[in-house]
Amino acid sequence: MVKTAAFHSPEGILLAHMLLLGWATMIAMGASYQVTQVLLRTSMYSRKLAFFQVIVYVAGVLLLLVSFWNWTPLGMGMGGGLIVLAVAVYAFNLGVTYVRSKLWTPVTVGASLSLLDLCVTVVLGTTLGIAAWTGWSPARYELLFFTHMWFGLVGWLAGLLVSYRLKLLPMFYVSRKTGTKLNYAIILFFQAGVWLGAGGWWSENRMLSNTGLLCVVVSLGILGWFVRGVRNQSSGKQPIGAVRVADVLIAVTFLLAVVWTLLHVGSGAAAQSYRVVSTLMLYVVLGWFSASILAYLTKIIPFLWWAHQFRTKEQKKGAVLLAEMVPQSRLTMELWGYLTGVGLVMCGNLFGASAVAALGICIMLADVALFLVELARVFRY
């Protein structure tokens, strides 16, 4: 990505979709199927639809990436069509599950709005493909492109992460502080920022985009305050390691959002430059989103596997403790190592230093491989 001159080059488009569709969105979809059932205490509307959606989505992403690599318009259209179908099935399956549960909380409201943002992202992506073939003006195409990225990165991925965090953190910390009216403010400010920002990018109205960014900053600030309260009111043993890494990333995300907002208010062109935007993309996808998901998996996977393996009272009597199923200290060190690699990739991308970015990628790959091997040891029980 360091050497890519623009987002619209074949390499830039391939990398962006590989990260966002092939990695981030695929993980978000898989995690949301399980987390939704835990949060709503119900089963999915249709497991068969879920399996069908995953198969169609994977096929669509693979076909789309290969088509970007070879730059074959027919393959792009077919791959994009499969992705649109998969997202429609995914949205329907989760949407019906939410409606049938009749349990509307800040978490479910936020997840539903993030689902809407995903659908808008797909519609805008399809429109981009049509615009490229029909010859839209470069200026209008660029505005549509930034709006598409904004909805995908902030509305869908970040919005879903913020929503689920409101429920998962109190569970991990065994905290007395759970759902409050403040949580609705977090969701409403965040989603208001998403839509105001999108309106600003599309219409080139800096007042709208600045207001949207400010709303997102306010939401992240309130989220940080909420997390602080969750930690302070913990009634159990503090989670060791990895979950705290995810907490630190909330503060980092808030600071980066403040800096980018100030930069955008002062100089919109500088804030929207290729290197700045692509560096922020790397942080959101590889840093904040991926590292937070990995941190949460250290709690979720042992819990689910323990519940699956030890179902009866007799089995539970001699069962291993959850805290003993994974080496939390080593997982934490490996996650920090992974984030060190992400930081080097960001610096290399921002300053055009390919060697630094390459070193960061090597560190990332090594640490995430070790992390996953350690986490997979859960399944030996």
Q: What is the C-alpha end-to-end distance of the chain, expressed in Å? A: 41
Q: Establish if 140 belongs to a structural domain.
A: no
Q: Establish if 228 belongs to a structural domain.
A: no
**What would the pLDDT profile of 147-160 be if each residue is shown by its tens digit?**
998 999 999 999 99
Q: Establish if 233 belongs to a structural domain.
A: no
Of residues 339, 298, 321, the one with CA closest to residue 172: 298
64 in Cβ contact with 25 (< 8 Å)? no
Cα separation of 256 and 277, whole Å?
Answer: 12
Q: What is the pLDDT of residue 39?
A: 79
pTM score: 0.88
Q: What is the pLDDT of residue 1?
A: 46
Q: What is the pLDDT of residue 189?
A: 97
Residue 181 CB neighbour total at 10 angstroms: 7
Q: Establish if 3 belongs to a structural domain.
A: no
Q: Establish if 86 belongs to a structural domain.
A: no
**What would the pLDDT profile of 321-369 be if each residue is shown by its tens digit?**
666 778 888 999 999 999 999 999 999 999 989 999 999 999 999 999 9
Contact residues for 362 (Cβ-Cβ < 8 A; gap 6+): 341
Residue span of the structural domain in which 344 resides: 258-305+319-380
Q: Please tell me the total count of domains within the chain.
A: 1
Cα separation of 252 and 254, whole Å?
Answer: 5
Q: Establish if 142 belongs to a structural domain.
A: no
Q: Report the 3 state secondary structure along 174-215.
A: CECCCCCHHHHHHHHHHHHHHHHHHHHHHHCCHHHHHHHHHH
Q: What is the pLDDT of residue 312?
A: 61
Q: Establish if 329 belongs to a structural domain.
A: yes
Q: What is the pLDDT of residue 167?
A: 86
What burial class does residue 258 get, using C-beta atoms within 10 Å of its C-beta: 0-12 exposed, 13-18 middle, 19+ buried? middle
Q: Establish if 276 belongs to a structural domain.
A: yes
The helix or strand, by DSSP H or E, that contains position 243, with its residue range, turns out to be helix 242-266
Token output for 185: 């403010």
Q: What is the pLDDT of residue 236?
A: 64
The type of residue at 28 is A
Sites in the chain below the pLDDT cut of 50 = 1-5
Q: What is the pLDDT of residue 317?
A: 61
- Which long-range contacts (C-beta less than 8 Å, at least 24 apart) are formed by 92-99? 92/49, 93/44, 93/45, 93/46, 93/49, 93/50, 93/53, 94/32, 94/33, 94/36, 94/44, 94/45, 96/45, 97/36, 97/40, 97/42, 97/44, 97/45, 98/36, 98/40
